[in-house]
Amino acid sequence: MSLQDTAGDTGLPAGGTVAGVPTRFDFRAELPSLDRWRRIHLLNVAGSGVSRVARLLAARGVQVSGSDPADLPVMAALRADGIDAQVGWDPARLEGVGAVVVSSATKEDVPELAEARRRGLPVLHQAQALALATQGRRRVVVAGANGKTSTSAMVAWTLRSVGTDCGYAVGADLVDSGRNAAVGTAPEFVIEGDESDGSFLGYRPEVAVLTNVRPDHLDLYGDFETVQRAYDEFLDTVPDGGVLVACADDPGARAAADRQRGRLRVLTYGFEGDGTTVPDLHLVDPSHRGMAWESTLRDGISGRTLDLRVKVPGLHNLLNATAAYAVAVHATLEAPEGGAGPEVEAAALAGLAGFAGAKRRFQVRGEADGVLVMDDYAHNADKVDAVVRTGAALAHEAGHRVLVAFQPHLYSRTRDFAAGFAAGLDAADEVLLLPVFGAREEPLEGVTSALVGDRLTTSWRAVDSLEELPQAVAALARPGDLVLLVGAGSITTAGEGVLTALQQRR
């Protein structure tokens, strides 16, 4: 459904385009000053993105209220933070409201949105509201099809480790802080950008981090060429002389960075690069023991050779950590041309070594009857491949198996990337396939989890419902096995049930 936003007297256009594709909002539009509105009301406030915006707006002195149909634990947490978060819809809540904030998932038939339109209230996307809440800050925006949540969390954590009290807004709670957002007092503010709806065009960062450019969200963009143009438009929003930190191991990110050379200061990181040019921050000789992974980091900017260690496993997390190091050491306001110096380098590396991760990013849920259960949000083919291969490395190192319960997310993504999902899942010893989690989509004829299963070469079986998953895992898992619950839908709610079923079988 197309959305024509009523802009009221703000001057905000009704819609826009990203790489030529029509979108609900014009994310390039100039926003008014935050002090224009004394009270802002947020719909679907229990969502990860909207809840973080609510907290940040409240911290800026805005009177914030919100509604959500689901009485999730975050609602109580928001109320504890002084935000009037109410369950259910009631159009009367719009009395005295200056503007309304929605997410891309907010449907037109929500009563409070319909009432906002009837009253002619300005309706903002959550990314526009986040841009309002960070006015006057030096934004560091992390973008990419894969790794942007972990990387943005690492960037924020590392900046804070070197003494920069940055703000942040990321897509998952940090394990240590339990929060997905913080205001901070330093000029820097770290944001996880979202390409899925084009909203990453609205931030205009001074520093951009590009983890990769991969085909995803084809339900919006249609093809990979259009996806690439969208990332180019995002990088074009970085002002001349800004900094781009790009992964040289990803062809899409490398090509996008090359198109910005001469306009932006480009810093590259990676293991291999293009095979001919060494990345500015070069990782060599990676190794791991259990959950601890490490690599030698050759900093070509400072000329020093360093030891990079993380306790969030996987080669992809060594890459993510290097991006965070690059921002903290080479892209802060105070960093000279050769880097911020040995003391800052040491503090950044120590911070990365202590980083505990973000929730639902290879998160340990518990252990029962000798079986370790972990949870991950991976929902596109590359992410699934990285998570399953990391799990296989850990399990096989100890002589055990990795079992993956996978819930495909979106019918269109399952249709378009079934072969890629199967290729990633094949690293598992056993696969349990749940029905597709449709989220915002209606079912597509012929699109089921069997599209993935039929392409698997490893052993797999179908599980007809989430309720049946705990017993299916308990029947299959052996002591010592690693169980991964993978997907962006409701599979995360099965963690406790799986642990209970494993415990009861004893």
User: 287 a known binding residue?
Assistant: no
Q: Is 78 exposed, middle or buried (0-12, 13-18, 19+ CB in 10 A)?
A: buried
For residue 285, what are its two tokens?
Answer: 């000789």
Would you say 279 and 270 are in contact if contact means Cβ atoms under 8 Å apart?
Answer: yes
H-helix or E-strand spanning residue 101 = strand 99-102
Give the integer Cα–Cα distance in Å for 180 and 175. Answer: 9
Q: DSSP readout, 138-163?
A: EEEEEE-SSSHHHHHHHHHHHHHHTT
User: 338 a known binding residue?
Assistant: no
Give the integer Cα–Cα distance in Å for 413 and 420. Answer: 10
Q: Is 4 helix (H, G, I), strand (E, B) or coil?
A: coil
User: 148 a known binding residue?
Assistant: yes
C-alpha pair distances (Å), 19 with each of 143, 221, 230, 276: 16, 8, 5, 31
For residue 149, what are its two tokens?
Answer: 């949540």
For residue 68, what are its two tokens?
Answer: 């959500």
Would you say 483 and 498 are in contact if contact means Cβ atoms under 8 Å apart?
Answer: yes
H-helix or E-strand spanning residue 450 = helix 450-453
Would you say 37 and 63 are in contact if contact means Cβ atoms under 8 Å apart?
Answer: no
Q: Could you give the dihedral angle defined by the CA atoms of residues 55, 61, 62 and 65, in that order, rounded to the nearest 10 degrees?
A: 50
Q: ∠283-205-28 over CA atoms, to 5°?
A: 135
The maximal CA–CA distance of the chain, rounded, in angstroms, is: 65
* Catalytic residue annotation: 148-149, 192
User: In which order are the strands placed within the sheet that holds 39-43?
Assistant: 84-87, 63-68, 39-43, 99-102, 123-125
Would you say 153 and 170 are in contact if contact means Cβ atoms under 8 Å apart?
Answer: yes
**Cα torsion 78, 80, 83, 87: sign:** positive
User: 149 a known binding residue?
Assistant: yes
User: 144 a known binding residue?
Assistant: yes
**86 strand-pairing partners:** 67
**299 strand-pairing partners:** 281, 304
Give the integer Cα–Cα distance in Å for 206 and 472. Answer: 49
Question: Residues at the annotated binding site for ATP?
Answer: 144-150
